[in-house]
């Protein structure tokens, strides 16, 4: 049986009213999804490009070094009611550490580092019957050993670094004998060291980075032989700790010829 005229008119009315609304909604949904997919594609591509630009690629060679200097002064004064006595001790330290490295993976380098440091002190004493001792030669440390360093780039130009190093060290330290200010004892030692130093790096151009650090963790073991020392001719010492502070501040520059 056929539909009544009224029923046919109702179907035509509802079909014409509902079908275009559904097609429009479907078109808007696909349009929104396509726009989101385009945005995510662009963001993903930009992130990949940024990572590629900021990474230091495997196979890159690095040539660099760090340098630091610190100075501090300790002053004391005493008055016994008749005279004033003063003591002033000025300590200074110079540090220099060149290195050469090779990136075995993106942002990860291994290499060889050298280290040299020199510490000197000057004591000045004033007051009746007091003399200042002659300055001693600088205490020095020379080190050489391999290292591994990782770069965590936060942007194309700025990143964090962490360097782990181990190696051999040789030390020299002169000091006055406790029994006489005229006898100089020379302590010569050798041993090994290990250390970890975090830092920051800034790349003004891709091939050159400027770095800074303020200390780190260390372990040291040294066997020492002394001359003119009545207390003994040899000793062993070891130490582990953390050294952070302005007096440990070092700046560096590294050239990346293949970057």
- Report pLDDT digits (tens) over 99-141: 999 999 999 999 999 999 999 988 888 888 888 878 888 999 9
Q: Rounded distance, CA 21 to CA 17, Å?
A: 7
CB-side neighbour CA atoms (13 Å) of 110: 4
Rounded Cα distance, 86 and 77, in Å = 4
Task: State pTM to two decimals.
Answer: 0.71
DSSP letters spanning the chain: -PPPHHHHHHHHHHHHHHHHHHHHHHHHHHHHHHHHHHHHHHHHHHHHHHHHHHS--TT-EEEEEEEEEEEEEEEEEEE-SS-EEEEEEEEEEEEEEEEEEEEEETTEEEEEEEEEEEEEEEEEEESTT--PPPPPPPEEEEEEEEEEEEEEESSSSEEEEEEEEEEEEEEEEEEE-TT-TT-EEEEEEEEEEEEEEEEEEEEEETTEEEEEE-EEEEEEEEEEEESS-TT-SEEEEEEEEEEESGGG-EEEEEE-TT-
The Cα 48–Cα 11 span in angstroms is 55
Q: What is the spatial distance between Cα 215 and Cα 234, in angstroms, rounded to a whole number?
A: 30
| pLDDT category of residue 83 using cuts at 50, 70 and 90 | confident
Residue 115: Cβ-neighbour burial (10 angstroms; 0-12, 13-18, 19+): buried
User: 31-52, pLDDT tens digit by residue?
Assistant: 544 444 444 444 444 344 444 4
Residue 132: predicted pLDDT: 80
Model confidence over 1-31: pLDDT tens digits? 445 444 444 344 444 444 445 455 445 444 5
Q: Dig out the tokens for 55 from the structure.
A: 């990474």
Nearest to 208 by CA among 164, 252, 155, 165: 252
88-92, 122-126, 191-195: the lowest-pLDDT one: 122-126
> Per-residue pLDDT for 158 more than 90?
yes
């Amino acid at each position: 049986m056929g539909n009544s005229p009224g029923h046919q008119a109702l179907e035509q009315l509802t079909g014409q009213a509902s079908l275009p609304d559904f097609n429009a909604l479907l078109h808007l949904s696909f349009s929104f999804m396509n726009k989101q997919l385009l945005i995510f594609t662009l963001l993903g591509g930009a992130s990949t490009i940024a990572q590629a630009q900021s990474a230091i690629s495997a196979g890159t060679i690095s040539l660099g070094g760090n340098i630091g200097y610190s100075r501090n002064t300790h002053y004391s004064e005493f008055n016994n009611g008749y005279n004033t006595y003063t003591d002033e001790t000025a300590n200074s330290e110079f540090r220099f550490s060149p290195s050469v490295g090779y990136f075995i993976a993106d942002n990860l380098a291994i290499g060889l580092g050298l280290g040299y440091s020199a510490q000197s002190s000057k004591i000045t004493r004033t007051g009746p019957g007091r003399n200042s001792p002659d300055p001693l030669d600088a205490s020095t440390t020379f080190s050489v050993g391999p290292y591994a360093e990782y770069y965590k780039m936060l942007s194309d130009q700025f990143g964090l670094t962490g360097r782990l190093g181990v190696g051999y060290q040789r030390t020299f330290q002169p000091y006055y004998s406790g029994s006489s200010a005229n006898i100089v004892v020379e302590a010569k030692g050798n041993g090994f060291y290990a250390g970890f130093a975090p830092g920051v790096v800034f790349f003004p151009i891709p091939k050159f980075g400027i770095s800074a650090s303020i200390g780190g963790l260390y372990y040291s073991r040294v066997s020492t032989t002394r001359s003119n020392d009545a207390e003994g001719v040899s000793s062993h010492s070891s130490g582990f700790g953390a050294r952070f502070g302005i007096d440990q501040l070092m700046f560096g520059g590294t050239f990346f010829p293949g970057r």
